[in-house]
């Protein structure tokens, strides 16, 4: 066995490979003070929308903001219940709370790691079927 250690996460090599491009973009941001919005973000949104074969793309400040606004756009309103799994990053439940809803944790399938729909409480399940637009899966 060799004495060489394998680094857990080598971000130096990746950044070294992209150094020229990263420095160029960072210099443009510094020169134009374009840290929020502006032509750089607009160009990204257009390029990313094209990459995703979508008509639109909206840059967000964070993944939490993206989740919150997606929930609101999906029709989640204060007082609603949003089903999620407990083993997730805090931003998932934070976004649900920021949208005014309440997270409802359900079990996962040990084989697929996806939600087990039948694990919802019977009373919640009946309520979800009675108001399907008020429950986000």
Q: In degrees rounded to 5, what are phi and psi of residue 104?
A: -125, 115
- Residue ranges covered by each domain of the chain: 11-51, 77-136
Q: What is the pLDDT of residue 131?
A: 40
Q: What is the pLDDT of residue 118?
A: 72
Q: What is the pLDDT of residue 68?
A: 95
Q: What is the pLDDT of residue 37?
A: 82
pTM for the complete prediction?
A: 0.66
73-77: Cβ within 8 A, 24+ apart: 74/136, 75/133, 75/134, 75/136, 76/100, 76/101, 76/134, 76/136, 77/101, 77/134
pLDDT-derived band of residue 60, with 50, 70 and 90 as boundaries?
very high
């Amino acid at each position: 066995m060799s004495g060489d250690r394998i680094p857990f996460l080598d971000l130096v090599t990746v950044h070294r490979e992209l150094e020229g491009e990263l420095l160029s973009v960072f210099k443009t941001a510094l020169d134009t003070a374009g840290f929020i919005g502006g032509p750089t973000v607009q160009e990204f949104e257009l390029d990313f929308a094209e990459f995703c074969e979508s008509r639109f793309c909206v840059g967000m400040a964070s993944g939490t903001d993206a989740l919150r606004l997606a929930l609101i756009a999906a029709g989640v309103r204060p007082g609603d219940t949003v089903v999620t799994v407990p083993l997730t990053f805090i931003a998932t439940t934070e976004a649900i709370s920021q949208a005014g809803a309440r997270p409802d944790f359900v079990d996962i399938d040990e084989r697929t790691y996806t939600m087990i729909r039948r694990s919802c409480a019977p009373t919640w399940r009946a309520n979800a079927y009675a108001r399907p637009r008020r429950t986000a899966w």
